[in-house]
Amino acid sequence: MKIVIQRVSKASVTIAGEKVANINQGFLILVGIVSEDTAEDIIWLTNKIVNLRVFEDDKDVMNHSIKDIDGDVIVVSQFTLHAATKKGNRPSYIKAAKPDVAIPLYESFVKQLHKDLGKPVQTGQFGADMKVELLNDGPVTIIIDSKSKA
């Protein structure tokens, strides 16, 4: 499972002209899933997310977590995070999990993040054509791959 965390001042997701998610300070998290991902990957990643210290304290040092600042989160499925670009100019997405595998893992990820964060997590819609807007704060963007945790 690969994620891209963007620290945001605000973010939203719009589908077919309707805003389905909207936050102020917090994280916009893009999630890419492969067939080999497991519940262990989800637990490891959500623990990383809620404890990641990337928000400034009163001395402007990135020393606070999303929990410390009571920040909000939007999670968006993003199969293109697993694009293979080695050959040619058209990315291959063969590594990305098919919906029958990816949807349950995505839903488990959101549910576990909600549990670890202790508050609701907003989402886009799996497989939908989404318009994602964000104001990246910093900018701070962190990429984490659960397969690189060792």
pLDDT of residue 149: 77
pLDDT for 95-145, tens place per residue?
Answer: 999 999 999 999 999 999 999 999 999 999 999 999 999 999 999 999 999
pLDDT for 92-109, tens place per residue?
Answer: 999 999 999 999 999 999
Could you tell me the fold of the domain covering 2-148? D-tyrosyl-trna(Tyr) Deacylase; Chain: A; (3.50.80)
pLDDT for 31-49, tens place per residue?
Answer: 999 999 999 999 999 999 9
What's the rounded mean pLDDT across residues 69-86? 95
Candidates 52, 74, 78, 47; CA nearest to 65 is 52
pLDDT of residue 57: 96
Q: Are 73 and 117 in contact (CB under 8 A)?
A: yes
Q: Dump strand ranges (E) for the chain.
A: 2-15, 18-23, 26-32, 55-56, 62-64, 72-77, 122-123, 130-145
Asked if residue 150 has pLDDT above 70, the reply is: no
What's the rounded mean pLDDT across residues 18-22? 98
* DSSP letter string, 52-74: ---EE-TTS-EEE-TTTTT-EEE
Q: Which residues are catalytic?
A: 78-80
Give the model's confidence band at 61: pLDDT under 50 very low, under 70 low, under 90 confident, else very high.
very high
